[in-house]
Chain A
Amino acid sequence: MNDAVIEIQDVSYAYDTEPVLEHVDLTVERGEFLAIIGPNGGGKTTLLRLIVGLLKPTHGRISVFGKPPGREPARIGYVPQHGNLAPGFPATVEQVVLMGLPHSRRHGPTFWSDERALAHEALNRTGVDALAGQPFAALSGGQRQRVLIARALITRPELVLLDEPLSNIDPYGRQCIVETLTALGADITIVMVSHDLGITASAVTAVAAVNRYLLFKRSPHPTQAMLELMYGVHDPNCPVRTQMAHLTTEDAPKDAERP
């Protein structure tokens, strides 16, 4: 257990009285590439925001690097959904990456040469250093996403958390992003949220399906039970709870008995 980067124990979260996550347990170990899959509104983003520390669980305990979330900001590289950004924001690619520097004692509007060197190192790692002087607003979706990943990488984090990095991006751009992530190195832990099953690339070492409840398997492929958790819950007669009972014991039943 010493190598656990993220430990989540019996976590529940509710917006007002609407439960989003219930009784979630998850342990992510160093070097893992975890894909979190699930339907929209199933709680994937909420789970990621809990790990980052943007939300506090209503029940249960989360620790990241053995501490409560948010205590080690520089060791975590968070890549939020890029669709929420202000479209015309005046900033070059280099400036956007420099925004990823940790909150420190340095103040003022100018950045130092050591900081700019870090920004270019991060841009090199994501393969977009040539765009450094371009306005961020002029980039394609895939290029923007790689710049945002570079912003997260500027502190050389050990844990990278990405929220739907592949949505609204063309197939070529997706491939670039997946390869960028896999090239980060084996000792970097990656947690990537996606509503797309297809991305579970060869690099993925574990899958978690989230739809209020969470199922985890240390394997690149989702199990039958995960598919049923993800797509069966919209049917009011769907026996999700019965499924859950089965699933607490190891492997998923191939043919779940229906009551």
Chain B
Amino acid sequence: MSILQLLGESFVQHALLAALLVSIACGAIGALVVVNRLVFMAGGIAHTAYGGVGLAFYTGLPVLPITGGFTALAALLLGGLSRRRRERTDTLIGVLWAAGMAMGVILIDLSPGYGADLMSYLFGSILTVSTPVLWLMAIVDGLILALLTYYFRDILSLSFDPDFARSRGIPVDGLTLMLLVLVAETVVMLLQVVGLIMVMALLTIPPYLAERHTRSLAGMMVASSLWSLLFCVSGLWLAYQTNLSSGASIVATACAIYLLFAGIQNAWRWFTHVAERSA
């Protein structure tokens, strides 16, 4: 099948559109996760989301809204707890991480008609994204971008230096909770694409790459989104060519490109360093 014929297929169009929508959220939120050192927190929220998937299966209600609501509550709980017991944050994340996963497994065990669908939430199913899900993702994207744009100055200040931001009267605690809820919603969107297991890759690798070559937080967000889109599209292409699963292919592509880019950059720095010395 030629590329043009492939692009004519509705599932391919849906997959590419989903990749774009996910990359927008992922780039913006991933950048904030990385600069605020919330990677482990995001991991905890991502795994707690599995409890929401279990709840949706058990009650027979639509998965995305239920998981979205459940994960947002978990993010608020985690944010509230970690504020009161700062030195215990990593342990609390571990507890919620495990509790969410266990709840998901138990609820799915108890649900009638357990199917292969479950795997799609663990490993992603970008090739089966439906039109209503695309709409929902677009709405979540719009909400994330609107909130981040409106609060950009405050978020920039608190990400760089929360103590100073507090001293200027910025509501750091409230904005941090908002950020965690946005992380939760981004994670729920990512469930569709790469799945729970590999959420972390798309939230961390694109921003980490972007941080190496950008000079502002906004620039880092845009660059992360573009890297993420590149990973998704090339991963999908790889999956199509090799008949491998799409989620794992996307992450594998991301990791390979990251290693290549970081390697070239380090080699270049070493080369210019040596050149400067000998000059």
Residues of A with Cβ closer than 8 Å to B? 49, 52-54, 70, 73-74, 76, 78-80, 84-86, 88-92, 95-96, 99-103, 106-109, 135, 151-152
B 149-175 binary contact with A (CB < 8 Å = 1; else 0): 111111011011101111111110000
- Contact indicator B160/A78 (Cβ below 8 Å): no
Query: Which of B151, B157, B165 has the most chain A CB atoms closer than 10 A to its own CB?
Result: B157
Separation of A80 and B163 alpha carbons in the complex (Å):
7
- Contact indicator B215/A91 (Cβ below 8 Å): yes
Separation of A95 and B169 alpha carbons in the complex (Å):
19
Separation of A102 and B214 alpha carbons in the complex (Å):
26
**Pick the contact of B160 from A85, A103, A109 — CB < 8 Å?**
A85
Please, which residues of chain B bring their CB within 8 A of the CB of A135?
215
Please, which residues of chain B bring their CB within 8 A of the CB of A80?
161, 163-164, 167
Please, which residues of chain A bring their CB within 8 A of the CB of B37?
86
- Contact indicator B216/A151 (Cβ below 8 Å): no
- Contact indicator B169/A70 (Cβ below 8 Å): yes
Q: Which of B2-10, B70-78, B217-225 contacts A (4 or more CB under 8 A)?
A: B217-225
Question: Could you list 15 A-B pairs, sorted by A, with CB under 8 Å?
Answer: A54-B166, A54-B167, A70-B167, A73-B167, A78-B163, A80-B163, A86-B159, A90-B214, A91-B217, A101-B153, A101-B168, A103-B168, A107-B151, A108-B153, A109-B218
The reply on B211 being an interface residue by CB < 8 A is: yes
- Contact indicator A90/B215 (Cβ below 8 Å): yes
- Contact indicator B157/A99 (Cβ below 8 Å): yes
**Pick the contact of B161 from A74, A99, A102 — CB < 8 Å?**
A99
Please, which residues of chain B bring their CB within 8 A of the CB of A74?
168
The reply on B39 being an interface residue by CB < 8 A is: no
Please, which residues of chain A bring their CB within 8 A of the CB of B216?
90-92, 95
A46 to chain B, nearest CB (A): 13
- Contact indicator B150/A99 (Cβ below 8 Å): no
The reply on B12 being an interface residue by CB < 8 A is: no
B136 to chain A, nearest CB (A): 26
Query: Which of A53, A96, A99, A152 has the most chain B CB atoms closer than 10 A to its own CB?
Result: A99
Separation of A164 and B218 alpha carbons in the complex (Å):
31
Please, which residues of chain A bring their CB within 8 A of the CB of B218?
109
Which residue of A is nearest B171, CB measured? A103
For the complex of A and B, 7 pairs with smallest distance between CB atoms: A73-B169, A78-B167, A109-B152, A99-B157, A103-B169, A80-B163, A103-B170
Separation of A138 and B156 alpha carbons in the complex (Å):
19
Separation of A122 and B217 alpha carbons in the complex (Å):
22
Please, which residues of chain B bring their CB within 8 A of the CB of A52?
166-167
What would 14 more interface pairs be, CB under 8 Å, given A74-B168, A96-B160?
A52-B166, A53-B167, A54-B166, A78-B163, A80-B167, A86-B160, A89-B160, A90-B211, A99-B153, A99-B157, A99-B165, A100-B164, A107-B150, A152-B164
